[in-house]
Amino acid sequence: MAVSIPVGVALEDFRWGVVIDSDDSVDEVNDANNGRIGSPVTVVPFPPDLVVGSDLVGPDEVSRGRLYTIHVTIENAGQGATIAGFQVAVYLSLNESIGDSDDLLVGTAEINDVFEPSEIRSIDVPIIVPSDQIPAQFHWATMINPDGLIVEGDRTNNSALGN
């Protein structure tokens, strides 16, 4: 279903909602269960565009069960401010792509304030390799908001592979 947000809608946080049979024209037993509220959505003037800004570099060797910090540079290359409350996730990846089922999530950082247009930040993501992980060679990988809840102009530049 395609939707269009009217120009006059306030710039704020909403939730998607759907109602079927809105004029009660279908003969049915119960009209009270024809609506549902869904995931959050933020109306912004122009979409933000979060980009992983520089090379993702982590330690060349890590031990299982030990705490490390990975620095991830994030830039808002778009025209609008982001929402608050999105994540930056760090993975160990066995191959040259991110988002595969074999990627191992090792840490996340929650961003609890907005990114303004042209803003650049270095985010420290604490990571721990699980103590039961079998030794292997991986790539560091990062993904901005892996759950996809942030509204932005281009989601193709939200991830990066590292060393």
What is the DSSP secondary structure assignment for residue 64, as one 8-state letter?
A: T
Query: So what's the pLDDT on residue 101?
Result: 82
Backbone torsions φ then ψ of 73, nearest 5 degrees: -90, 125
Residue 153 lies in a domain: yes
State whether residue 73 is helix, strand or coil: strand
Could you tell me what percent of the chain has a pLDDT over 70? Answer: 99
Residue 148 lies in a domain: yes
Separation CA 57–CA 132 (nearest Å): 24
Please check the confidence at residue 118 and state whether its pLDDT lies above 70.
yes
Residue 65 lies in a domain: yes
What is the DSSP secondary structure assignment for residue 148, as one 8-state letter?
A: -
Stated pTM of the model:
0.72
List, for residues 27-54, the tens digit of each pLDDT value.
Answer: 788 877 888 898 888 887 778 899 998 7
Find the CATH number of the domain harbouring 113.
2.60.40.10
User: Among all chains, which residue has been given the structure tokens 């910090």?
Assistant: 69
Query: So what's the pLDDT on residue 88?
Result: 95
Contact present, 57 and 31 (Cβ < 8 Å): no
Residue 62 lies in a domain: yes
Question: What's the domain count of the chain?
Answer: 1
Residue 39 lies in a domain: no
Residue 7 lies in a domain: no
Residue 102 lies in a domain: yes
State whether residue 159 is helix, strand or coil: strand
**Mean pLDDT, rounded, for 6-11:** 76
Show the domain range for 115.
Answer: 50-161
Q: Which residues, 6+ apart, have CB-to-CB distance to 109 below 8 Å?
A: 72, 87, 88, 123, 124, 125, 126
Residue 69 lies in a domain: yes
Q: Which residues pair with 52 in a beta bridge?
A: 74
